[in-house]
Every structure is written in structure tokens, then in C-alpha cells.
């Protein structure tokens, strides 16, 4: 059966006065109706082949509030992905939490980054720096701080994950490399490379990336055996991967 006329399958729902577009995808192998809001704010309804549009419409109407909230949340996240200016009031992630940045200029104290009372404090010793120089200085202090934290946290998580991976002999070496599209990699020699930006994510997501790379020591590819092994040592990996992917733009923003 072809359905040229409805190929785009775009529909609309109202939440109060707000108009939300949604797509319908009918699938032979889907058994019940599912509504998903994607990070790019697309609303997609997956339904069994024989579901009527009237039933779909009434289902999305019932969940209109929930859908609207999710669209708003993703829209807000997106608007947060602005170029960083490295000024007080901006936020920085660390281990899945968001911290407000507080820049001080105090010659009496060392130039340093410190997590203190829920804020990420950066102290500069030179107050007379121009705005641009100042931002560059704050960025370099923060980069350093993240590198140090990443080294310590990744090492701790690697040690915590090793008991699950009995095919790994000894403690693999890892190095940090800032990457735009990857959280980690593993060489044929079994050396890991981890993205320092990953330290902005919750610990469980860090564990997922480390376990993923450790599984490559046994299976150097993304074969079925690889995914089976990963599922064995971390049954919930898919949810963690989705969580990490949905935040990637924010964690990689610098
Ligand atoms: Zn992989």
C-alpha cells in the first residue's frame, strides 16, 4: 500500500492556545502507540499500522501538557547553547550538575578554580585585563581545572568498572583528548582515549563510555557480539547513551 498523499504525515495539536506539530509513523511491528519528543523539538507518534488518526489525535490531546512541557524543555536547552563568554552568571557543567560561574579578581589570592557552595569560582589576579583577554584567561583556567578533574574522575571510574570486565588484564592506560564528535576511543593495543568534556556528564554516563571502550578490548568493532557483551556488563547502557547524546551539544560547548 502506498500513501503518497500523506507521505509527510504531519498533524497538529493544540495545548491551550499553543499549536504543536507532530509526525505520525505507522509501523507494522509496533504494538502500541508511543509519543516521543526529540531534542530537536520534533514530536513523533509511532503507532501500529491499523491505528486510526482519530485515536491518535485523541491520545496526543490527552498528553498535550506533557508534550508541550518537553518541547519547552528542549527549546530552553537549545537556547542555552550560546557561545560562552566566561563571565559571572554563566553556567558550567560538572558531573551532571550545572554550576553558576563566579569570577573574582583578587590579587591576594592565587589564580584558581574552586567549587564552593554550589558555585564554580574562578579567581583572577589581574583585574585590569580587557574583557577579551579576561575571557581567554578564565577559559584557560577552566580548561585546566576540567583536565585535572577528568584525569582523577576517569581513573576512579575506570578502577570501579574493571571488576566487571574480566577480559581486561591489568589497568589500561588512558589519555585525554578534547574531541568534537567522540567521547572516547580504544586502540588495538587496548589504550583508551577519553574526552575531558565527558567529566561534565553524570558519573553513570562516564561509566557507560568507559565500559563501552573496555568492551572494545574484547571486541574491536561494533559487531553483535560487542553489543551483547556491553549489555551483559551494563544492561541499562541504552538509556545512558540517550541521556548523554541529548546533552552532547551542551557538554561540548566551550
Ligand atoms: Zn565503540
pTM, two decimal places: 0.71
User: What are the structural domain ranges in the chain?
Assistant: 4-80, 91-146, 153-252
Q: Taking Cα atoms as reference points, which of 154, 176, 240 lies closest to residue 204?
A: 240
- CA–centroid distance, residue 227 to ligand 1 (Å): 9
Assigned C-alpha cell, 208 = 557507560
- CA–centroid distance, residue 11 to ligand 1 (Å): 37
- CA–centroid distance, residue 216 to ligand 1 (Å): 7
Helices 237-252 and 203-218 cross at an angle (nearest 10°) of: 110
- CA–centroid distance, residue 247 to ligand 1 (Å): 19
- CA–centroid distance, residue 245 to ligand 1 (Å): 14
**Domain 153-252, architecture per CATH:** 2-Layer Sandwich (3.30)
Assigned C-alpha cell, 108 = 591576594
**Sheet strands side by side (includes 119-124):** 91-94, 97-105, 119-124, 112-116
- CA–centroid distance, residue 184 to ligand 1 (Å): 8
- CA–centroid distance, residue 234 to ligand 1 (Å): 14
Q: Taking Cα atoms as reference points, which of 189, 187, 184 lies closest to residue 161?
A: 184
Tens digits of pLDDT across the chain (254 residues)? 333 333 357 899 988 888 899 999 999 888 899 999 987 789 999 999 999 999 999 999 999 999 999 998 888 776 667 788 999 999 999 999 999 999 998 888 889 999 988 899 999 987 667 888 889 999 999 999 999 999 999 999 999 999 999 999 999 999 999 998 899 999 988 999 999 999 999 999 999 999 999 999 999 999 999 999 999 999 999 999 999 998 998 899 87
Amino acid at each position: 500500500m502506498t500513501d503518497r498523499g500523506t507521505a509527510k504525515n504531519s498533524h497538529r495539536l493544540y495545548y491551550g492556545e499553543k499549536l504543536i506539530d507532530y509526525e505520525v509513523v505507522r509501523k507494522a511491528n509496533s504494538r502500541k502507540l508511543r509519543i516521543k519528543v526529540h531534542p530537536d523539538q520534533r514530536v513523533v507518534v509511532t503507532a501500529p499500522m491499523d491505528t486510526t488518526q482519530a485515536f491518535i489525535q485523541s491520545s496526543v490531546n490527552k498528553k498535550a501538557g506533557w508534550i508541550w512541557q518537553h518541547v519547552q524543555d528542549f527549546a530552553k536547552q537549545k537556547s542555552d547553547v550560546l557561545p560562552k563568554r566566561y563571565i559571572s552568571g554563566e553556567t558550567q557543567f560538572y558531573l551532571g550538575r550545572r554550576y553558576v560561574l563566579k569570577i573574582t579578581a583578587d590579587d591576594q589570592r592565587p589564580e584558581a578554580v574552586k567549587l564552593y557552595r554550589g558555585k564554580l569560582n574562578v579567581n583572577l589576579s589581574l583585574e585590569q585585563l580587557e574583557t577579551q583577554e579576561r575571557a581567554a584567561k578564565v577559559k584557560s583556567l577552566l580548561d585546566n581545572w576540567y583536565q585535572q578533574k577528568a584525569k582523577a574522575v576517569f581513573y576512579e571510574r575506570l578502577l570501579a568498572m574493571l571488576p566487571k570486565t574480566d577480559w581486561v588484564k591489568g589497568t589500561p592506560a588512558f589519555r585525554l583528548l578534547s574531541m568534537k564528535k567522540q567521547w572516547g576511543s580504544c586502540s588495538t593495543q587496548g589504550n583508551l582515549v577519553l574526552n575531558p568534556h565527558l567529566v561534565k556528564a553524570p558519573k553513570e554516563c562516564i561509566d557507560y563510555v568507559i565500559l563501552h571502550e573496555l568492551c572494545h578490548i574484547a571486541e574491536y568493532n561494533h559487531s553483535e557480539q560487542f553489543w551483547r557483551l556491553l549489555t551483559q556488563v551494563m544492561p541499562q547502557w541504552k538509556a545512558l547513551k540517550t541521556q548523554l547524546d541529548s546533552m552532547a551539544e551542551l557538554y561540548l560547548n566551550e
